[in-house]
Amino acid sequence: MSLSHDSWTIERDYPHPPDRVFAAWADPSTKVRWFDLSGTADPDYHSDFRVGGTESFRTPVGSRPDFTYTAQYRDIVPDERIVTTYEMAMDGQRTSVSVATLELSSTAAGTHLVYTEQGVYLDGLDNAQDRSLGTASQLDRLGAVLDGQS
């Protein structure tokens, strides 16, 4: 049994106002378009976007490995920030527990996004480098969705 702690940050600039970027996180039908990396047409995704509400994602039944994501919204300030706590599991075994913070600020060109995660990765089943690469892909996909390319 082992633990690995890490913290990392990813920043992106989008040519869209903060309210539009925030809405892409808040609206489940929009978020699943960029958040889901399973490549399936009908992912198992649910969101109750409010402080205390939950969000969950699971790869389709029969997928290997079977990934699940379960989060709770801890703080929401419209158009400015979202804080969640979440855990990831693979094939039913918890791989990590994290605190994630999204910060949005207005710029002359649109929105500056800062995503920071503090995580504990369990038993060598996950690590900060892989998680940050996956999140970076999601944030790139968010840009494509905002631009209308997806």
CA-CA distance, 8 to 134, in Å (whole number)? 13
Q: Supply the pLDDT for residue 44.
A: 84
pLDDT digits 0-9 by tens, 123-137: 998 999 999 999 999
Q: Which domain holds residue 110?
A: 3-146
Look at the chain and report how many structural domains it folds into.
1
**Does residue 63 carry a pLDDT above 80?**
no
pLDDT, mean of residues 31-59: 84
Q: What is the pTM of this model?
A: 0.92
Provide Rg for the chain, Cα atoms: 15
Instruction: Report the C-alpha gap between 109 and 95 in whole angstroms.
Output: 38
CA dihedral 57, 71, 78, 15 (to 10 degrees): -50
Sequence letter at residue 33:
R
- Residue 34, domain CATH: 3.30.530.20
| CB distance 88 to 126 below 8 Å | yes
User: Distance (Å, rounded) from C-alpha 128 to C-alpha 117?
Assistant: 9
Tens of pLDDT, residue by residue over 73-95, are 999 999 999 999 999 999 999 99
| Three-class SS state of 117 | strand
What pLDDT, on the 0 to 100 scale, is given for residue 93? 94
For 124: left if phi > 0, alpha if psi spans -120 to 50, otherwise beta; the answer is left
